[in-house]
């Protein structure tokens, strides 16, 4: 088999890396996940800093193009291979995808990440969960999810009645959240719950979820 032209650098347990992988899986792009170890500090080595000067993962190489920042990577993959997931070039739909992608980035993900870091990754980082941080962010997340509930009562997906990156982008952090007791926040909201189940049932989401075994004790790096 020929080596895929597309490479992703990083560890798939990261919701940021797996966001990029989800876009590739949804678009049906053949790719290679180049293994890196966070514990060994691979992201701080010169060869990785040459790919991303911020020393973060994921990085995508697509031919001569080197991209970082998971949402930029996801946009590129879909623009090239499945533009309907960005609104298909229609102004209004594309604008709504952008709005709900920004909502994911600036309203939903910050509290969700804070909860997941404390509840899922803290043991992996060798420390106890900080419950005060969890409680504060649960309150924030609850309010955000109430807005999602109201939105999803008016349309099937976040940007309208079509699946888009606005729905896929939160999948990986929500997959981690759903492995905690705060999954109850989602279960309490019927429209959010139905939307989540629809996302989680997608073959691409299923495949990416397998890279992220957060439900079964401490997460392991994919190496």
**129 or 140, CB closer to a copy of itself?**
140
201 lines the binding site for a copy of itself (CB under 8 A): no
Q: Which of 7, 61, 105, 191 binds a copy of itself (CB under 8 A)?
A: 105
Cβ contact 174:19 at 8 Å: no
**195 or 222, CB closer to a copy of itself?**
195
Residue 32 pairs in a beta bridge with 7
Cα(205)–Cα(9) distance, integer angstroms: 19
Peptide bond before residue 141 is cis, with ω within 30 degrees of 0: no
Q: How many residues bind a copy of itself (CB under 8 A)?
A: 29
- Map tokens 């609850």 to a residue: 142
Stretch that binds a copy of itself, among 18-26, 36-44, 86-94, 168-176 (CB under 8 A): 86-94
Cβ contact 71:19 at 8 Å: yes
Output the smallest distance, CB 210 to a copy of itself, in A: 27
Cα(193)–Cα(166) distance, integer angstroms: 16
Cβ contact 10:36 at 8 Å: yes
Cα(99)–Cα(157) distance, integer angstroms: 13
Q: Which of 30, 40, 84, 102 binds a copy of itself (CB under 8 A)?
A: 102
Phi-psi region for residue 89, left (φ > 0), alpha (ψ -120 to 50) or beta? left
75 lines the binding site for a copy of itself (CB under 8 A): yes
153 lines the binding site for a copy of itself (CB under 8 A): no
50 lines the binding site for a copy of itself (CB under 8 A): no
Q: Which of 34, 150, 153, 188 binds a copy of itself (CB under 8 A)?
A: 150
Cα 206 from chain centre:
13
Stretch that binds a copy of itself, among 23-31, 34-42, 95-103, 189-197 (CB under 8 A): 95-103
Binding residues for a copy of itself (CB under 8 A)? 53-54, 65, 67-69, 71-72, 75-76, 79-80, 91-92, 94-96, 98-99, 101-103, 105-107, 144, 147, 150-151
């Amino acid at each position: 088999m020929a080596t895929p032209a597309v490479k992703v650098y990083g560890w798939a347990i990261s919701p940021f890396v797996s966001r990029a992988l989800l876009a590739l899986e949804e678009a049906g792009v053949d790719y290679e996940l180049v293994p890196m170890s966070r514990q060994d500090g691979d992201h701080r080595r010169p060869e990785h800093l040459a790919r991303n000067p911020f020393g973060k993962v994921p990085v995508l190489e697509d031919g001569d193009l080197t991209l970082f920042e998971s949402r930029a990577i996801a946009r590129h993959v879909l623009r090239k291979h499945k533009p309907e997931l960005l609104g298909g070039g229609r102004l209004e739909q594309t604008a709504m995808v952008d709005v709900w992608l920004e909502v994911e980035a600036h309203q939903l993900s910050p509290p969700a990440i804070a909860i997941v870091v404390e509840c899922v990754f803290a043991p992996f980082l060798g420390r106890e969960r900080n419950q005060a941080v969890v409680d504060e962010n649960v309150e924030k997340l609850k309010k955000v999810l109430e807005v999602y509930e109201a939105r999803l009562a008016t349309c099937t997906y976040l940007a309208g009645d079509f699946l888009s990156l606005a729905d896929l982008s939160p999948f990986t952090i929500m997959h981690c959240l759903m492995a905690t007791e705060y999954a109850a926040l989602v279960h309490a909201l019927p429209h959010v719950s139905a939307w989540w189940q629809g996302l989680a049932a997608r073959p691409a989401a299923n495949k990416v979820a397998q890279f992220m075994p957060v439900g079964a004790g401490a997460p392991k790096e994919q190496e």
